Amino acid sequence: MSEANHPEISWADFEKVWIVAGTVTKVEAFPEARKPAWKVWVDFGPYGEKKTSAQIAALYRAEDLVGRQIVGVINFPEKQIGPFRSQFLLTGFPTDEGVVVTAIERPVPNGTRLA
């Protein structure tokens, strides 16, 4: 896409999005999902534990995710996904093979905001 399709935003706009580090505490199968997905619970430190449905099952096994730090957007409204209530957006990059989870290069405290 060209730059024209991506209007500039202000720093104040960026600050409205709470992009936060957290550690995956639990992962469960989500057989009701239309596309292969996991139910994922994440500890966001002072913001508490939140859950989401994430379409990352093509590239990640449940045991590979538990204990891993991820990056999530925690201030979107909750969203009902089938029988499951999603409380945050787990960030990643779509590829032909599946979604690649956003990686944190070295550990940071849970709840640390992206700056």
pTM score, whole prediction: 0.92
51 is a domain residue: yes
Q: Is pLDDT at 1 greater than 60 in this prediction?
A: no
Q: How many separate domains does the chain show? A: 1
91 is a domain residue: yes
CATH of the domain at 34: 2.40.50.140
For the stretch 24-45, pLDDT in tens is 999 999 999 888 899 999 999 9
Task: Give the residue numbers spanning the domain of 88.
Answer: 20-101
Residue 35 DSSP class: S
C-beta of residue 19 within 8 angstroms of C-beta of residue 76: no
Other beta carbons within 10 angstroms of residue 41's beta carbon come to: 17
For the stretch 84-110, pLDDT in tens is 999 999 999 999 999 999 999 999 999
110 is a domain residue: no
111 is a domain residue: no
